[in-house]
Structure 1
Amino acid sequence: MLFTPIKPMLLQMGNNNEIIDNPDWIYDIKWDGWRILLHKQGDRVEAYTRHGNNVTAKFPELQEVGQSIQTHTAIIDCEGVVLRNGVSVFDDFAYRGRLSNTSKIEQATLHYPATFIAFDVLATDKPLMQHPLVKRKEILSSIIEPSNKILVTPSIAGNGNNIFQLTKDKGMEGIVGKRSNSTYKINHRSNDWLKFKHFKITDAVILGYKENPFTMLVGTQVSNGKFKPLANVEFGFKTEEKRVFREIAKQIVTSVDRDMMWLEPRLHCNVQYLERTVSGSLRIVSFKGFNFDKIPEVINK
């Protein structure tokens, strides 16, 4: 298992209204970066993504990480992040992950320094996956000397709603709740591990729409004046909102391409989304009302 790709245990999406304040559940901050599995044996340290890609060469910080892991052998489950004022910035770590030029990688360690935030351990000199989570976390804390390059994520037993509100106030992604007695199951998505995320709302311009099913294509204006699509929105519409929209849209149609009716970029709306992809597209999106007076934000992407 050491120095070979491992598909990690995955989380189910939890209901934010059903966070359990129970000491049998352990809650961590959900950091926004890349899932990384660190493998260490002696002075050798390698990093693998959840999809099995070896990204060791992209992160010279791993040399220091290895010195902070106080055991000869270990496989540690982490989130690779770039922190800004204590908050992880996904795009910054994604930028690090895209680099392949050695000189650019070295420069990026100064401006986009990577930190690996550990939350589980699969093995040391012996397998640990059948141990309960609470025991694995004790072992994890005992083998890591915290540094700027590797930290153990703080954990709280119970009080899930309190930490959820705290992460919202700080503009963080959300939290993870796990049963304290859960074992680690490779390549398995379990209800014993739940993620609770803070949805966000943004302004967008409506670029077009289609029927069957009713779907709006929304986007944003970029720095060169053009419009970049962000998402197809299918959910959240009231019947009256569709009716009003159709009346307005027929006055600003510019062309029809198959089933898509393209519009002049003059009508704006609010959309709720869960997260942005690396390319900036929005995931898990719903309509939250028209925004007739709003001018869309211009972004440099």
Structure 2
Amino acid sequence: MLFTPLKPMLAITGKEAFDDVQFIFEPQYDGGRILIHKRQDRIEAYTRYGQVVTVKFPELLEAAKAIQADTAILDCEGICLRDGRPIFDDFNHRGRLGKSAAIAQGALLHPATFVAFDVLYSEGREHLNEPLTRRKERLADIVMDSTVLTKTMYIEGQGRALFDLTKERGLEGIVAKRRDSAYRLDFRSSEWLSVKHVRTVEAVILGYRTKPFALVIGLHFRSLRNKPVGTVADGLSLADKQAFLAIAEQLHTEKDRQTDTQWIEPRLCCQVDYLDRTDMHQLRTTYFRGFLPHKRPEDCVWPYN
């Protein structure tokens, strides 16, 4: 089990925050899932997809000292803090660096912290089938909090209060976990529920699809303009669709028949809510809020914060 890629347990999407004494509630941090493996002085870090990223995070050498066990596998969220808040793009940037000089500079400018929330293995024993509360006790015994590795906080029963607190502090949301849940590798479990805060972005409309109808939206990034970041269909009324098509007809450029996408000149903007995005900035669970007739398309920039 040690030093082999493991696919972590995942949460399903929850509809709203709730209170329940059968659950514990943790903050959800905006970073990247990392599994840390340790045996004595050796430490390795794996992404949720099984990629070894140890060399990208020199901080892990210090993190090894905070693990008070000869062998361990910890499930963590890797984050980079800016003004006390985890910034997704900073950690994502660290994970893309390859040259040693860039890695060293990245560690200096955007130091990483690994927030541990579960233990899968320690001192030669698997803990997958133990209840979550017992694994939390083991985690408390073997992790000595430091600036590089720290245990996540959690509360019992009071999900709504933590959800409000995470919104106040600019965090992503919460995860609700059944107290007695086992850890199931490579499984998305209804015993873990992810409840995220809605985020809003102002995007440029790059095109549309007709089967079914959806707007293709984009944003400007530091190195790329008009990058498609997803589609939005929910929230669009028939009147919205008709008004858009009347204008879009005059802005047609090329048609991609393979994806059924009619591209248009990037002149129109809209406001969109979303709950999540991928490492490649693709927005998920989107909802149309309205057109922005006075918004300049060149101002539709990915929010780096």
Classify the TM-score, shorter chain: over 0.9
Q: What is the alpha-carbon distance in structure 1 between the residues aligned to residue 94 and residue 196 of structure 2?
A: 24
Equivalent pairs, count: 299
Moved more, 225-234 or 42-51: 225-234
Q: Which residue of structure 2 aligns with residue 245 of structure 1?
A: 244
The Cα of 1:117 is off from its aligned counterpart by 0.3
Q: What is the alpha-carbon distance in structure 1 between the residues aligned to residue 234 and residue 249 of structure 2?
A: 21
Q: What is the alpha-carbon distance in structure 1 between the residues aligned to residue 222 and residue 134 of structure 2?
A: 51
| Structure 1: gaps spanning 5 or more residues | none
SS of 2:133's equivalent? helix
- Structure 1 pair 240/111, CA: closer, same or farther in 2 (3 Å)? same
Q: What is the alpha-carbon distance in structure 2 between the residues aligned to residue 56 and residue 223 of structure 1?
A: 27
- Structure 1 pair 282/105, CA: closer, same or farther in 2 (3 Å)? same
Q: Which residue of structure 1 aligns with residue 5 of structure 2?
A: 5
SS of 1:7's equivalent? coil
Percentage of matched positions with identical amino acids: 46
Equivalent positions of 1:19-38 (< 5 A) are 19-38=17-36
Q: What is the alpha-carbon distance in structure 1 between the residues aligned to residue 224 and residue 98 of structure 2?
A: 31
2:200–2:271 CA contact under 8 A, matched in 1 = yes
1:223–1:298 CA contact under 8 A, matched in 2 = no
2:273–2:289 CA contact under 8 A, matched in 1 = yes
Q: What is the alpha-carbon distance in structure 2 between the residues aligned to residue 248 and residue 186 of structure 1?
A: 50
- Counterpart residue identity of residue 134, structure 2: K
Q: Which residue of structure 1 aligns with residue 227 of structure 2?
A: 228
Q: Deviations over 1:214-261 (max 9, x none)?
A: 121222355799533222223221112112222222343345554543
Q: What TM-score do you get using the length of structure 1 for normalisation?
A: 0.92
Q: Which residue of structure 2 aligns with residue 116 of structure 1?
A: 114
Q: Which residue of structure 2 aligns with residue 50 of structure 1?
A: 48
Determine if the alignment matches structure 1 residue 181 to structure 2 residue 180: yes
- Structure 1 pair 260/59, CA: closer, same or farther in 2 (3 Å)? closer
- Structure 1 pair 116/221, CA: closer, same or farther in 2 (3 Å)? closer
RMSD: 2.1
Q: What is the alpha-carbon distance in structure 1 between the residues aligned to residue 138 and residue 224 of structure 2?
A: 54
- Structure 1 pair 141/224, CA: closer, same or farther in 2 (3 Å)? closer
Q: What TM-score do you get using the length of structure 2 for normalisation?
A: 0.91
1:28–1:176 CA contact under 8 A, matched in 2 = yes
Q: Which structure's residues are more often strand, by fraction?
A: 2
Q: Which residue of structure 1 aligns with residue 81 of structure 2?
A: 83
Q: Which residue of structure 2 aligns with residue 264 of structure 1?
A: 265
2:203–2:300 CA contact under 8 A, matched in 1 = no
Equivalent positions of 1:155-194 (< 5 A) are 155-194=154-193
